[in-house]
Amino acid sequence: MAKLGIGVLGVGEMGKRHAENLRRLVPEARLVAIADVAADRARHIAAELEIEQSFGSLPEMLACKDIQAVLISTPDKFHAEAIRAAAVAGKDILCEKPLALNLPDAHAALAAVARAGVRLQIGFMRHYDPAYVAAMKRIEAGEIGEPVIFKSIGRDKDVPPLAAYPSGVNGMLFYNNTIHDFDLARWLMRDEISEVHAYTTVAIRPEVAEYSDVVASVVNLKYGRGAIGNIESYVQAVYAYDVRTEVLGSKGSVFIGSVAQTATAFLHASGRVQPLADHFLTRFADAYLAEVRDFVHNMLYDKPPLVTGEDGLKALAIAVAAENSHLQGRAREVTLQAAGEQIATHAH
Ligand SMILES: NC(=O)c1ccc[n+]([C@@H]2O[C@H](COP(=O)([O-])OP(=O)(O)OC[C@H]3O[C@@H](n4cnc5c(N)ncnc54)[C@H](O)[C@@H]3O)[C@@H](O)[C@H]2O)c1
């Protein structure tokens, strides 16, 4: 069987899962190497997965001749530069979201990909989640008629430790969390967002304001063809990892997600339904696996990726407009070009 040689860059919580999936559950992949600035961690995970090569940097890994593709799972700030370097080395790329933390970096990364003639997929794995896929099929079949309202909720269960903020290696809420919903808002509605108005709060954790971040937001959306939408994000739901989306149309509604981890409901004297989804790695376990399987297959058989760099750019442009709206206190147009409009600073 033909196999795609692949290297994983950044093996923290997310990258480790991708590496495990590639090593154990994707027969068409050969996990060749792991790289991480924490070289000891890379070595340790390589040993755990019984692969021979581990590196402390991307350039060292890119020198491996058996690698045809790279999966990038570093913190957000390093995505654009890693994409550029991998493209220059002629590798196909699967990069975690977001594509970049600002539009100039995003354009530079996409230009490098285009120049090198390699392919780039962005890790919007909800395109592979069975519930979202089933909903999209119904929308595409016209079962809810013309989509009119998009609503989405993304609530993390546990707030990140305060110590994670000062490093500034991940984008603020819109870039790190809401970006999934910005992507869904385009994908499920099959339309582009023209304008956003963001409302934010630092209530319960005013300290995050110092790092230009927020703990919760609601973002109202206007679409090019006249539809509207609303997205809520929150970092501290406490009770569960709660991700839900609804698309309402002229003939009905399609509703994705529930707080329950499985379709089985256990009703108890306490009134609780168990088990609840508690983490993205469990809620989206199927999606992460389907994502790397599909990427590997498509690269091997010279097919285009399902979620493109262009999708990454368009979701990022919505996040930039939302951050500018949050900073300026008014609605902002979504634009793909930075051109003086982009006042947002993007890191915390
Ligand atoms: N698609 C999703 O649902 C999803 C979920 C979680 C995280 N993510 C994304 O995945 C990425 C990683 O998140 P995480 O939670 O695993 O973070 P993490 O902090 O747990 O891990 C990051 C890893 O990257 C390493 N690293 C840091 N800088 C590096 C560099 N310049 N080069 C190489 N390695 C470097 C760190 O040592 C660490 O091992 C982030 O961009 C995040 O937004 C996506």
Q: What mean pLDDT is predicted for residues 155-160?
A: 93
Cα–Cα distance list, 50 to 26, 30, 37, 165, 288 (Å): 15, 12, 20, 34, 21
| CA-based end-to-end distance of the chain | 46
Q: Would you state the pLDDT for residue 281?
A: 95
Check if 97 has its Cβ closer than 6 Å to any atom of ligand 1: yes
Check if 75 has its Cβ closer than 6 Å to any atom of ligand 1: yes
Residue 261 has pLDDT above 70, yes or no: no
Q: Is the dihedral of CA 72, 279, 176, 293 positive or negative?
A: positive
Check if 7 has its Cβ closer than 6 Å to any atom of ligand 1: no
Residue 341 has pLDDT above 50, yes or no: no
Q: What is the spatial distance between Cα 348 and Cα 344, in angstroms, rounded to a whole number?
A: 10
* Ligand 1: centre distance to CA 75 (Å): 4
Atom number in ligand 1 closest to CA 14:
16
Q: What is the spatial distance between Cα 153 and Cα 180, in angstroms, rounded to a whole number?
A: 10
Q: Would you state the pLDDT for residue 198?
A: 98
**318-329 per-position pLDDT tens digit:** 999 999 999 999
Sort strands 193-201 and 92-95 into parallel, antiparallel or unpaired.
unpaired
Q: Would you state the pLDDT for residue 264?
A: 66
Residue 315 has pLDDT above 60, yes or no: yes
* Ligand 1: centre distance to CA 125 (Å): 15
pLDDT confidence of 13, banded at 50, 70, 90?
very high
Q: What mean pLDDT is predicted for residues 110-135?
A: 98
* Ligand 1: centre distance to CA 230 (Å): 28
Check if 13 has its Cβ closer than 6 Å to any atom of ligand 1: yes
Q: Would you state the pLDDT for residue 266?
A: 66
* Ligand 1: centre distance to CA 71 (Å): 11
Atom number in ligand 1 closest to CA 11:
39
Q: What is the spatial distance between Cα 163 and Cα 128, in angstroms, rounded to a whole number?
A: 33
Q: What is the pTM of this model?
A: 0.95
| Mean pLDDT estimate for the chain | 94
